[in-house]
């Protein structure tokens, strides 16, 4: 018995044929994006449509007096350019000094003791960029429903047994196979 993996565009749900290479799309900023960049796949024509519809933008951080964190905004580059009245924006950008790093809210850098321990029931399963430890994997396997309830209550993404990345990341192969309907194992047909 063989297995065949089929892929679908995350944007349209259309089948990505074997002879079509999907286009990888990394989303860095979006109003609905909670934790760092995410990645999706789409048909090449869909990605070209994104590129064609793209607008030139200026992304700026505004450091208002009294605010602890900057406010990041994006606006049409043309509208931003019109804000430069004294000299053209291109000239202003060439002569501007390089940006300095934003000051940290805490004077001392965070030590290891200040880091979140994802191998605890309070934090297991939360999206993070670090390595998933065996202890976190075990907690997620043993308390998946409880962890998903907490994640949903916090407005975070939940862990899905139908998402191959989640299954691999948290070692949920057995749980996924137990709960998947016959013939429908995490994207396999």
141 and 188 inside one domain: yes
- Coil/strand/helix, residue 57: strand
Indicate the range of 43-52, 105-114, 130-139, 169-178 predicted with least confidence.
105-114
User: Residue 175: is its pLDDT beyond 80?
Assistant: yes
- The verdict on pTM exceeding 0.95 is no
Q: What is the average pLDDT across 69-81? A: 90
Average pLDDT of the chain? 83
- Residue 180 is predicted with a pLDDT of 62
126 and 180 inside one domain: yes
138 and 160 inside one domain: yes
Is the pLDDT higher at 110 or at 12? 12
In terms of Cα–Cα distance, which of 33, 34, 35, 37 is closest to 24?
Answer: 37
Residue 26, domain member (yes or no): yes
How many structural domains is the chain composed of? 3
In the block, tokens 């949903």 appear at 152
Residue range of the domain that includes 60: 55-100
Indicate the range of 4-8, 29-33, 104-108 predicted with least confidence.
104-108
- Give 105-161 pLDDT, tens digit per residue: 444 444 455 678 888 888 888 888 778 888 888 998 999 999 889 888 888 899 989
- Six token digits for residue 26: 């990394």
92 and 149 inside one domain: no
6 and 25 inside one domain: yes
The number of C-alpha atoms within 13 Å of 130 and in the hemisphere containing its C-beta is 14
16 and 77 inside one domain: no
Residue 105, domain member (yes or no): no
14 and 50 inside one domain: yes
Q: How far is CA 43 from CA 7, 26, 54, 135, 162, in A?
A: 10, 14, 17, 38, 21
In terms of Cα–Cα distance, which of 161, 30, 74, 103 is closest to 40?
Answer: 30
Q: How far is CA 88 from CA 61, 71, 73, 78, in A?
A: 20, 24, 21, 11
16 and 84 inside one domain: no
- Residue 34 is predicted with a pLDDT of 79
């Amino acid at each position: 018995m063989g297995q065949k993996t089929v892929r679908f565009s995350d944007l349209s749900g259309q089948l990505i044929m074997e002879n079509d290479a999907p286009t990888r799309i990394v989303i860095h900023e979006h109003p609905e994006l909670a934790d760092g960049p995410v990645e999706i796949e789409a048909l090449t024509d869909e990605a070209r449509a994104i590129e064609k519809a793209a607008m030139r933008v200026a992304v700026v951080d505004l450091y208002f007096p009294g605010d602890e964190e900057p406010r990041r905004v994006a606006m049409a580059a043309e509208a931003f350019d019109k804000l430069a009245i004294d000299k053209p924006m291109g000239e202003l950008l060439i002569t501007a000094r390089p940006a300095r790093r934003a000051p940290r809210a805490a004077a001392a850098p965070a030590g290891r003791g200040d880091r979140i321990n994802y191998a605890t029931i309070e934090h297991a399963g939360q999206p993070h960029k670090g390595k998933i430890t065996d202890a976190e994997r075990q907690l997620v396997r043993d308390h998946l429903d409880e962890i998903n309830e907490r994640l949903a209550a916090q407005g975070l993404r939940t862990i899905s047994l139908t998402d191959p990345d989640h299954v691999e990341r948290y070692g949920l192969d057995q749980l996924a196979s137990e709960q998947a309907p016959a013939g429908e194992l995490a994207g396999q047909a």
